[in-house]
Amino acid sequence: MGTRARGKIGESNTSFNDLPEEMAAFIFTKLPVKYLIRSTSVSKTWYSLIINPNFISSQITHSLSSCDQNAVLIIPTHLSHRNYCTLVSAETGYVFDKYEIPFTTKSGTLKFVDSVNGLVCVNDLRSSNTLYLWNPCLRKYKCIESTCFSADLFLDSGKRSSVIGLGFHERTNDYRVIRIVSCVDNKNVLVSKVVPKVEVFSLRMNEWREIQNPIGPRLSLFKFRKTVNSIMYGLSSSHPEKYSDEVGILSFDFNNEVFGQLKLPDDVRYCLGEIACFNLMKFEGSLCVCVFNKCVGGDINTHPFCIWLMRNEDGIISWTKRFNVVLDQFGFPCQLTKSGALIMISLTNSPVRSVISCNLKNLQCKYLGFDNSLDFKIKLPATVDTSFIESLVMHAGGDILLETP
């Protein structure tokens, strides 16, 4: 076997391009996204490797395993107040990065829906008709204004209530958005005689399609949604402001497009009494239910939080109390970081709301330094994301959306 020619004595003419493709791809997965984008301009070989769907999947896998366990993406509600998102450490408050928001909504407000593999879904806080799929690291976004439904949907029966969710279809490597449109009366109570409409948007196909005769969301409204392992979960009730005995969890599997439903056990629902509130989160790769109350025993300075972890083993669902803490600060619990910090939006009598991180191990709370001056009529369950990672989703060079075979 011949040897490679050499230049000066002791010098080799070998280069990075001489590495086996598998080795080159492995090295590239370690690079931050901004350097990967620059690398696509170096050569056609590097460009082809980096935009390959298999490489993008490998980069996502590496990013999921190596991302900072305390990272929190803070999304502004009013674009006039702040037109960028901030990636910050829940432990130290250190700002990792800032991502300018490259679009604006009609009302100038944003509502965070969810994120999957670095792809963020947001919509106008005052309207769910216009959606944005956005990769902050790439500064690329797609505005979705279309729908399968007619403009006069439910016009004669009542007003519309829309639910949006983001998920991943594993078999086709496709990111999808679900929209469930229900009919509610003037008191925001579900009109049960009117069957909700369901449509799914495919990023890969760039189109909506309606799911005919959906079984599942007929008698309930989704609230406080979270996608875990390609399944969107949502607290359900026939009335958006009341739970009591009605509270349960609806689900939508993006892989088979089937709805499911399960009831919360009594020890989960009533662990803090009958007037407790709920929110859905993700922790340790599983769905969590956070049960919280403002006060116990008349002591307004104590704020208990119970976090239950759901396990699904061969179709058998079980619940384990993962955290049971009492904090001296109260806020609306938004999400858990991968390290177990509870991220909350402070609820005070001031028009300024702050993002707070609470370490559930030592019960220390940290003010992250991000204030939002907000209208009290605007609810704040979704202004932070603890699942965000750097990825190449939506990148295929130029402005072309990634298409996989």
Question: What are 267-311's pLDDT values in tens digits?
Answer: 998 888 877 888 999 999 999 999 987 654 445 567 889 999 999
Ordered domains of the chain (ranges, CATH): 16-60 (1.20.1280), 67-385 (2.120.10)
What is the per-residue pLDDT across 193-233, written as a single tens digit (0 to 9) for each?
677 889 999 999 999 999 887 766 555 556 778 999 999 99
| Number of CB atoms found within 10 A of residue 348's CB | 11
Question: Using CA atoms, how far apart are residues 250 and 231, in angstroms rounded to an integer?
Answer: 10
What is the per-residue pLDDT across 106-139, written as a single tens digit (0 to 9) for each?
888 888 999 999 999 998 877 777 899 999 999 9
Q: What is the mean pLDDT of residues 362-385?
A: 66
Q: What is the mean pLDDT of residues 32-42?
A: 90
Q: What is the DSSP code string of 78-140? A: BTTT--EEEEEETTT--EEEEEE-----TTSB-EEEEEETTEEEEE-TT-SSSEEEEETTTTE
- pLDDT for the residue numbered 174: 94
pLDDT for residue 350 is more than 70: no
- pLDDT for the residue numbered 82: 82
Q: 30-39: long-range contacts at Cβ-Cβ below 8 A with a sequence spacing of 24 or more?
A: 30/62, 32/390, 33/59, 33/137, 33/138, 33/390, 33/391, 33/392, 34/137, 36/392, 37/138, 37/395
Nearest to 123 by CA among 162, 155, 86, 149: 162
In sequence order, which residues have a C-beta less than 8 Å from that of residue 331 and are 6 or more positions away? 344, 345, 346, 347, 356
| Number of CB atoms found within 10 A of residue 18's CB | 11
- pLDDT for the residue numbered 111: 87
Q: State pTM to two decimals.
A: 0.85
Nearest to 236 by CA among 225, 228, 19, 353: 225
Given pLDDT bands bounded at 50, 70 and 90, which one contains residue 158? low
Alpha carbon distances (Å) from 181 to 128, 134, 206, 337:
10, 23, 20, 31
Question: Using CA atoms, how far apart are residues 343 and 388, in angstroms rounded to an integer?
Answer: 14
| Number of CB atoms found within 10 A of residue 349's CB | 5
The share of the chain scoring above pLDDT 70, in percent, equals 77
| Number of CB atoms found within 10 A of residue 4's CB | 8
Given pLDDT bands bounded at 50, 70 and 90, which one contains residue 5? very low
Nearest to 227 by CA among 171, 282, 307: 282
Tokens read off for 84: 């960028």
